[in-house]
Structure 1
Amino acid sequence: MADTAIAWDTYSRQRPERRPVNSRGETTWFNWTQYEDHGPGTELLEVSAGARVLDLGCGKGGNAGHLAAIGVRAVGVDVSHQQLAAARERWGQSPGLDLHHGDAVRFLREDREGFDAVYSVYGAVWFTDPALLLPAVRERLRPGGRLVFSQRPPVAGCYGCQASYIPRGPDEDPLVVKRWDYEPDAWEHLLAEHGYMDMRATVLEAPPGPRRVGTLIVTARA
């Protein structure tokens, strides 16, 4: 497997920047899916201004930047220096936004303040062993706090720890990182095993288009 930070730095160079505005003319917005202007928004987090919310694998910071813009105390953590550099360049002046470099599990274990919600959009929940991450999140969620995450649905028959490939140059082998794929009912079972309540895992259908897949969205409460 590739060094995680190197892999996600490589991915960062391939990922397009978030648009200056969305279809509604907004300069910040929240998106759970891989498609533009599709799906639910911050209502899944069930938080209001002043809440402390953690983005696990915040990437280039678009979702965390939006939360900060609406008055949430948004905290982001990512292992990629390049992703965080892009996040700081675009969103770093936003009051209430706090970005950190590091491993998701270690960051959670070292935090002492706790969170009203923790979320991951195609981020660290997908690429971290749930046996390590789910209890770490549970310990830092305040009573009633929400864990919400989204990722691609699993390929039929390919469950548990899988290989995810990040392409490089034409003459280089791709970098390989681990990801964890489960069917919706399996995610609900895993969350229950780690003390979560009100679990709900569903696949949101993709907008019309060729070869498009839906988005797995999972919610649970501490």
Structure 2
Amino acid sequence: MTDTAIAWDTYSRQRPERRPVNSRGETTWFNWTQYEDHGPGAELLDLPAAGRVLDLGCGKGGNAVHLASLGMQAVGVDVSPVQLRAAGQRWGEVSGLELHHTDAIAYLQGAGEPFDAAYSVYGAVWFTDPGLLLPVVRERLRPGGRLVFSQRPPVEGCYGCQASYIPREDDEDPMVVKRWDYEPAVWVQMLAEYGFVDARATVLAAPPGRRKVGTLIVEARASRP
């Protein structure tokens, strides 16, 4: 297991489980933000009926399971075996759900059917060099297929590759993973450079009465021939 996988295993053990139901009483749902019951849902992916969709950094599988419940062919990839084990324990053999223990780029570089959409919710798009990831995402999307990802907005003046710290025990140094932060306009430009069109990047404000940190949501389509 790589150091990166160990880091995300550590992170996984610190995170609370997804609630049994949301505020609407649903057992599965899609959430782009760090806040409960906030923001848009799966409609951002603009999936066709029974569409094929890829979760880049699926974690414990909650978003992918929701898409499978809608009749999609949902594929999730993650480097953390602890996260994937938790997904299996909670969701079992959900029809239409397929999970892989692998790095996002390694999976995308393999042979396989194209996808109608790919997405990342505080996932692999945030923690992978976009110069390496975006071209292979584009190659595995059908023409016109959607790429949508969400993450924290960048801290002003701190752009490009940054250090993200995962705490451990009090007597241990935190684990460090790399993340890539850019202003919305830079993401739009970068996506255009790698063969995406109709790109837009916006910051969704936090819910009223909550912390002021919003959520950066970036959307684009794979260009057509």
Unmatched tracts of structure 1, length 5 or more = none
> Which whole-Å CA distance do the structure 1 matches of 2:105 and 2:218 have between them?
19
Q: Does 1:32 align with 2:32?
A: yes
- 1:88 offset after TM fit, Å? 0.9
> Which whole-Å CA distance do the structure 2 matches of 1:87 and 1:187 have between them?
31
- 1:208 offset after TM fit, Å? 1.6
1:87 alignment partner AA: A
- 1:63 offset after TM fit, Å? 0.1
Please give the residue correspondences for 1:6-155 in structure 2 after superposition, counting only pairs within 5 Å. 6-155=6-155
- 1:29 offset after TM fit, Å? 0.2
For each residue in 1:139-185, what CA deviation from the matched residue of structure 2 results, as whole angstroms up to 9, or x when unmatched?
Answer: 00001100000000000000000000000001100000000000000
Runs of 4+ in 1 over 3 A off after TM superposition: none
2:93 alignment partner AA: Q
Q: Normalising by the residue count of structure 2, what TM-score does the alignment of the two structures yield? A: 0.97
2:205: which partner in 1? 205
> Which whole-Å CA distance do the structure 2 matches of 1:110 and 1:81 have between them?
20
Q: CA RMSD in A?
A: 0.9
* SS state at 1:146 partner: strand
1:171: which partner in 2? 171
Q: Number of aligned residue pairs: give it.
A: 221
Unmatched tracts of structure 2, length 5 or more = none
> Which whole-Å CA distance do the structure 1 matches of 2:165 and 2:33 have between them?
20
> Which whole-Å CA distance do the structure 1 matches of 2:16 and 2:41 have between them?
21
For each residue in 1:51-82, what CA deviation from the matched residue of structure 2 results, as whole angstroms up to 9, or x when unmatched?
Answer: 00000000000000000011000000000000
> Which whole-Å CA distance do the structure 2 matches of 1:197 and 1:86 have between them?
36
8 Å contact kept, 1:111–1:140: no
For each residue in 1:171-218, what CA deviation from the matched residue of structure 2 results, as whole angstroms up to 9, or x when unmatched?
Answer: 100000000000000000100010100000000000023533000000
* SS state at 2:132 partner: helix
* SS state at 1:180 partner: strand
Q: Normalising by the residue count of structure 1, what TM-score does the alignment of the two structures yield? A: 0.98
Change (3 A) 1:111 1:33: farther
Worse overlay, 88-97 or 206-215: 206-215
> Which whole-Å CA distance do the structure 1 matches of 2:189 and 2:111 have between them?
27
- 1:89 offset after TM fit, Å? 1.1
